Amino acid sequence: MKPYAFGVDIGGTSIKIGLAKTSGWLFETRKIGTPIDLSAESFLLNISEVIKQRIHARGLHPDDFEGIGVGVPGPVDEKGVVHGCANLGWGEVDVKGIMERALGIPVQVGNDANVAALGEMWQGGGKGYANLVMVTLGTGVGGGVIINRHIVCGQYGSAGEIGHLHVSDDETEPCGCSNYGCLEQYASATGIVRTAARLLDAHPEANSILRQGTPLDAKLVCDSAREGDELALSVVEAAMDQLGKALAMISCVIDPEVYVIGGGVSLASDVLMPPLQRAYKRYAFPSSRDTAFKKATLGNQAGIIGAIKLTMPDAKENKEKIK
């Protein structure tokens, strides 16, 4: 195996680029703003130029690199083609082909949540486990599935889209995906705020810290729940009940060893984990009730580290054995 690899984590507001030894030592990271006014090809060529500059600055050569791993916020097929990135305004884009032609280095591409899950399995909260599901609680709810240490991306690149599991028949507002009653509408930061606003409106008599919050946000809800605010506790219980129900359903299909919980909302894991685990045990199939729950530990570097792992021979050879 060659000594170096790059990991690229493409997000809606920033792009993180990491240079690492293939042993796993990440020794340089760069963060650049996500350009919103470029075509997909120009966007990727810009990233390629940054990588070329770093190779030159370090006195290295393309032949020194095992590869470049790229995580993108959209479904990716086995050929490294992305089939739409709503946050970037992309349609179908051959990420692998564009970057390989620009750099002369092998490129591996994966969905960003799946790649982050791979990172957590390799170096983070899922270290030591071969079968895991990562759950990211942020503006939305994302997921990544790892079976036998390899990403499951599915036939159309949509495996792990757990935020769009249907958990409620009573929802009257559409999710961003245009369906109704998706998990993301309840367990994300946005969903937690929405539930809190609904409860505040439904219970005008309730004396809650949340009425003092301007603006109302998920951190305030979690902080208020930690202080014992009854309405905030009800919001957290409702959100984690839906998440626990969804994860119990996932266990009936995947039966992972561990759920790794990450994303910005997970910073309040002391508040969220107990009701989540209670709900999970309530809904889970009996033989799956003791599934472990761990907090993600890599933070914003999970995507970079997972992308680096994506370049390695075991990942390259096996990433599509399980679809």
pLDDT tens track for 119-163: 999 999 999 999 999 999 988 898 999 999 888 888 777 788 899
In this prediction, residue 67 carries a pLDDT of 97
For residues 278 and 306, give the distance between their C-alpha atoms in angstroms, rounded to a whole number: 30
Count other Cβ atoms within 10 Å, centred on residue 317.
Answer: 10
Paired with 6 in beta bridges are: 19, 68
Question: Phi, psi at residue 206, to the nearest 5°?
Answer: -70, 130
In this prediction, residue 193 carries a pLDDT of 95
Residue 117 pLDDT exceeds 80: yes
Residue by residue, DSSP assigns 95-157 as HHHHHHHHHSS-EEEEEHHHHHHHHHHHHSTTTT-SSEEEEEESSSEEEEEEETTEE---TTS
In this prediction, residue 176 carries a pLDDT of 84
Residue 322 pLDDT exceeds 50: no
- What amino acid occupies position 78? E
Contact 160, 117 (CB under 8 A): yes
pLDDT tens track for 11-47: 878 899 999 998 888 999 999 988 878 999 999 999 9
Q: How confident is the model at residue 316 (pLDDT cuts 50, 70, 90)?
A: low
In this prediction, residue 320 carries a pLDDT of 46
CATH assignment of 128-297, among 3.40.190.10, 3.40.50.300, 3.30.420.40, 3.90.1150.10:
3.30.420.40
Of 226, 216, 177, 167, nearest to 195 by C-alpha is: 216
pLDDT tens track for 243-263: 999 999 999 999 999 999 998
Give the CA distances from residue 56 to residues 22, 49, 50, 239, in Å, rounded to whole numbers and listed in that order.
19, 11, 10, 49
Could you name the CATH architecture of 4-119+307-316?
2-Layer Sandwich (3.30)
Residues of the chain with CATH 3.30.420.40: 4-119+307-316, 128-297
